[in-house]
Amino acid sequence: MRPSDLLVPRPEGLYCPPGDFHIDPVRPVPRALVTHGHSDHARAGHGAVLATRETLDIMAIRMGEDFAGARQEAVPGAVVDIGGVAVSFHPAGHVLGSAQISVAWRGLRITAAGDYKRAADPTCAPFEPVPSDIFITEATFGLPVFRHPPPEAEARRLLDSLALFPDRAHLVGAYSLGKAQRLIRLLRDVGHDAPIRIHGALSRMCDYYVSRGIDLGPLAPATVAGQRGRGFAGEIVLGPPSAFAATWVRRFADPLIAFASGWMRVRARARQRGVELALVISDHSDWSELTATLTELSPAETWITHGREEALLRWCALERRAARPLHLVGYEDEAED
Ligand SMILES: [Zn+2]
C-alpha cells in the first residue's frame, strides 16, 4: 500500500479515497473534515462537515447556520470510523477549536496538523503530539529568519507605547478569529485591566470566546455616540485589518497604528500597512517550533504544505529525514494568520 492510497492531494483539497472525504477542501464537496474556522480552511457549501464543536460554532457564526447540509461534532481524542478509516481530532494550539486530523487505515497513520503552533496560548487547547507514520506540517513561517519573540513581551511593548503617548488612541489591527482574543488575553496577563475597545466586526467572536470560558476582561464598543471629539485617546482599540483600509481610523485622536501578526517580523510588510508599532505575535509555528516538532515526532515521512516548503525540505534532507512538498492550492499565507 502506498500512502497516497490513504491521502492524496486533489484540486479540492486533501482527499481520502477509502473514507471518501476531504480535509479542509477549498471547494464544496460531499463530505469535509475541517481543522479550524479560518476562512481558507473552513468554507461554506459542503454536504456534511465533521469538526470540533468550537469549529462548527465558529463556522455558523461566520457563514450562517446553513453553512453545510449536515454537521457532526468531532470530540477531541475520540475515534470515528468513516468507511473503515479511523479518524480522530487532536488539539493544534492554533485558535479556539483548532485540531489536527489523524487518519489510520491498514496499519498506516497520517496526521494532517493543519495550522498549528507550540507557543503557549491561554485561548485554546495546546498542540498534542500524535505519533504518526506521516506528519503533514504547514510551513507558513518555514524560514530560519522567522523566530517569534515571547508574545508577552510584544504585549508589554504596546502598554509601554500607551504610557509614552497617552494622548494617542492606539489602534491595533488583529484578525478577528484567534489573534484578537489572544492579544486581549495577553494584555490582561501583563496587567492591563482597563476596558479594551473593539470594532463591531470583532464582537461576535469575542462574545463566543467568552461563552467558552475565556475571560477577556472588560470590552467596550469602539463606536460610541458623542465620543467623537475625545476619540479614545490613551485607549487600546482593536479592529480587523480591513478596517484600517477604510475611513474608520480617522475618527480617532491622533491614532497610533499597530498591527499584531507574525508577518510584522518583515519590516517591508509593516511599512506597506503604514504600521508605526509592529507587534510580532503569530498563531503559526516559527522556524524553531517547526523543526522542534519534526524532531519530537520523528515521523517516517514529512509532507510539507502551504508556505515556504523549500527551506524546511532542505532542513529535513540535512537531518536525513524523508520529506516531500505537498502542493495544495488555495491556502493563503496572509489571509488570517
Ligand atoms: Zn489558520
pLDDT in tens, 117-144: 999 999 999 999 999 999 999 999 999 9
Adjacent-strand bridge partners of 239: 173
What distance in Å separates the CA atoms of residue 38 and residue 51, rounded to the nearest whole number? 13
pLDDT tens per residue, range 164-201? 999 999 999 999 999 999 999 999 999 999 999 999 99
331 in a domain, yes or no?
Answer: no
For residue 49, pLDDT over 70 is answered with: yes
190 in a domain, yes or no?
Answer: yes
Using the mean position of ligand 1's atoms as its centre, give its distance from the Cα of residue 176 in Å.
Answer: 11
Using the mean position of ligand 1's atoms as its centre, give its distance from the Cα of residue 93 in Å.
Answer: 10
- Could you tell me if 181 and 84 lie in one domain? no
For residue 334, what is its C-alpha cell? 496572509
Domain count, the chain: 2
What distance in Å separates the CA atoms of residue 54 and residue 149, rounded to the nearest whole number? 28
Confidence of residue 248 (pLDDT cuts 50, 70, 90): confident
Using the mean position of ligand 1's atoms as its centre, give its distance from the Cα of residue 331 in Å.
Answer: 9
Using the mean position of ligand 1's atoms as its centre, give its distance from the Cα of residue 35 in Å.
Answer: 9
User: Closest Cα partner for 124 from 197, 241, 25, 35?
Assistant: 35
107 in a domain, yes or no?
Answer: yes
Q: Count of CB atoms within 10 A of residue 53's CB?
A: 14
Q: Contact 33/10 with Cβ under 8 angstroms?
A: no
Question: If DSSP codes are grouped into helix, strand and coil, which group holds residue 243?
Answer: helix
What distance in Å separates the CA atoms of residue 163 and residue 235, rounded to the nearest whole number? 10
What distance in Å separates the CA atoms of residue 197 and residue 337, rounded to the nearest whole number? 21
What distance in Å separates the CA atoms of residue 310 and residue 302, rounded to the nearest whole number? 13
Higher pLDDT, 108 or 251: 108
Using the mean position of ligand 1's atoms as its centre, give its distance from the Cα of residue 253 in Å.
Answer: 33
User: Closest Cα partner for 275 from 251, 308, 239?
Assistant: 239
Using the mean position of ligand 1's atoms as its centre, give its distance from the Cα of residue 283 in Å.
Answer: 8
Using the mean position of ligand 1's atoms as its centre, give its distance from the Cα of residue 271 in Å.
Answer: 24
For residue 229, pLDDT over 60 is answered with: no
Using the mean position of ligand 1's atoms as its centre, give its distance from the Cα of residue 1 in Å.
Answer: 32
- Could you tell me if 193 and 307 lie in one domain? no
Adjacent-strand bridge partners of 63: none
295 in a domain, yes or no?
Answer: yes
27 in a domain, yes or no?
Answer: yes
pTM reported for the whole predicted model: 0.95
Using the mean position of ligand 1's atoms as its centre, give its distance from the Cα of residue 202 in Å.
Answer: 17
Using the mean position of ligand 1's atoms as its centre, give its distance from the Cα of residue 336 in Å.
Answer: 6
Using the mean position of ligand 1's atoms as its centre, give its distance from the Cα of residue 42 in Å.
Answer: 9
Q: Residue type for 294, please?
A: L
Using the mean position of ligand 1's atoms as its centre, give its distance from the Cα of residue 25 in Å.
Answer: 14
- Could you tell me if 274 and 288 lie in one domain? no
- Could you tell me if 33 and 126 lie in one domain? yes
- Could you tell me if 131 and 23 lie in one domain? yes
Distances (CA, A) of 157 to 144, 277, 278: 24, 9, 9
Using the mean position of ligand 1's atoms as its centre, give its distance from the Cα of residue 38 in Å.
Answer: 5
What is the arithmetic mean of pLDDT over 91-104?
Answer: 98
Supply the DSSP symbol for 126. Answer: P
Helix (H) or strand (E) holding 22: strand 21-23
Using the mean position of ligand 1's atoms as its centre, give its distance from the Cα of residue 39 in Å.
Answer: 8
For residue 230, pLDDT over 80 is answered with: no
Note the helical H segments in the chain.
53-63, 151-164, 179-189, 200-211, 267-272, 287-297, 309-318
Using the mean position of ligand 1's atoms as its centre, give its distance from the Cα of residue 257 in Å.
Answer: 24
DSSP 256-317: EEEEE-GGGGSHHHHHHTT-SEEE---SS--HHHHHHHHHHH--SEEEEEEE-HHHHHHHHH
What distance in Å separates the CA atoms of residue 83 and residue 95, rounded to the nearest whole number? 29
- Could you tell me if 73 and 159 lie in one domain? no
Using the mean position of ligand 1's atoms as its centre, give its distance from the Cα of residue 333 in Å.
Answer: 9
What distance in Å separates the CA atoms of residue 112 and residue 136, rounded to the nearest whole number? 5
- CATH code at 119? 3.60.15.10
- Could you tell me if 157 and 123 lie in one domain? no
Radius of gyration of the chain, Cα coordinates, nearest whole angstrom: 20
- CATH code at 205? 3.40.50
Using the mean position of ligand 1's atoms as its centre, give its distance from the Cα of residue 234 in Å.
Answer: 31
- Could you tell me if 69 and 85 lie in one domain? yes
What distance in Å separates the CA atoms of residue 216 and residue 187, rounded to the nearest whole number? 9
Using the mean position of ligand 1's atoms as its centre, give its distance from the Cα of residue 226 in Å.
Answer: 37
What is the arithmetic mean of pLDDT over 202-222?
Answer: 97
303 in a domain, yes or no?
Answer: yes
What is the arithmetic mean of pLDDT over 302-315?
Answer: 92
Using the mean position of ligand 1's atoms as its centre, give its distance from the Cα of residue 337 in Å.
Answer: 6
* Residues contacting 88, CB < 8 A, separation 6+: 74, 77, 78, 79, 80, 101, 102, 104
Using the mean position of ligand 1's atoms as its centre, give its distance from the Cα of residue 249 in Å.
Answer: 26
212 in a domain, yes or no?
Answer: yes
121 in a domain, yes or no?
Answer: yes
Per-residue pLDDT, 251 = 83
Long-range contacts of 309-317 (CB under 8 A, 24+ apart): 309/139, 309/142, 311/139, 311/142, 311/143, 311/144, 311/287, 312/137, 312/139, 312/142, 315/291
Using the mean position of ligand 1's atoms as its centre, give its distance from the Cα of residue 322 in Å.
Answer: 26
- Could you tell me if 19 and 55 lie in one domain? yes
Range of the domain at 241: 151-279
What distance in Å separates the CA atoms of residue 174 and residue 93, rounded to the nearest whole number? 18
For residue 153, what is its C-alpha cell? 513581551
